[in-house]
């Protein structure tokens, strides 16, 4: 799953474009830190022998537009022309850092990987 720092460049561009347009901030994404997610798992009765953040820059199979439409729709305006303008602005904002000289887009994914084992309850009637 996504962890702390996942798509941080994309999130910054989405936020900036929304702010410029006077739109309310939104962020439906949840990318926890190692410490935060370990605590949540342990509070839910899991042991966590392994948990780590793994940077995994990922080359997109196509344009950034497709990624934005698939994963960032809730950040974009639902109106046709305004939506197109927002996508263009976000693309322009991110091109210097996420698009290479050959036009390939690489999104700055950070994965949170972990092993969590459910701890057996001491009281079988509470399971």
- Nearest to 55, CA basis, from 122, 127, 112, 125: 112
**Residue-level pLDDT at 50:** 97
What does pTM read for this prediction? 0.85
Q: 34 and 3 in contact (C-beta within 8 Å)?
A: yes
Distance CA 7, CA 101 (A): 20
Grade residue 123 by pLDDT with cuts at 50, 70 and 90: low
Q: What tens digit of pLDDT does each residue of 61-96 get?
A: 999 999 999 999 999 977 788 899 999 999 999 999
Q: Could you tell me the CA-to-CA distances from 75 to 12, 69, 126 in Å, in that order?
A: 11, 10, 42
Q: What is the pLDDT of residues 8-56, one digit of tens each?
A: 999 999 999 999 999 998 999 999 999 999 999 999 999 999 999 999 9
Domains (ranges, CATH) in the chain? 8-119 (3.40.50.150)
- State yes or no: pLDDT of 126 exceeds 90: no
Report the pLDDT value the prediction gives residue 122, as an integer from 0 to 100.
60
């Amino acid at each position: 799953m996504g962890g702390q720092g996942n798509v941080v460049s994309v999130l910054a561009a989405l936020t900036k474009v929304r702010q410029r347009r006077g739109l309310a901030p939104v962020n439906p994404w949840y990318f926890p830190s190692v410490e935060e997610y370990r605590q949540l798992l342990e509070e839910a009765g899991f042991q966590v022998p392994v948990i780590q953040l793994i940077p995994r820059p990922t080359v997109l199979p196509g344009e950034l537009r497709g990624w934005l439409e698939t994963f960032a729709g809730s950040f974009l305006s639902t109106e046709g022309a305004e939506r197109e303008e927002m996508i263009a602005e976000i693309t322009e904002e991110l091109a210097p850092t996420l698009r290479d000289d050959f036009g390939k887009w690489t999104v700055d994914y950070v994965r949170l990987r972990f092993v969590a084992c459910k701890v057996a309850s001491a009281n079988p009637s509470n399971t």
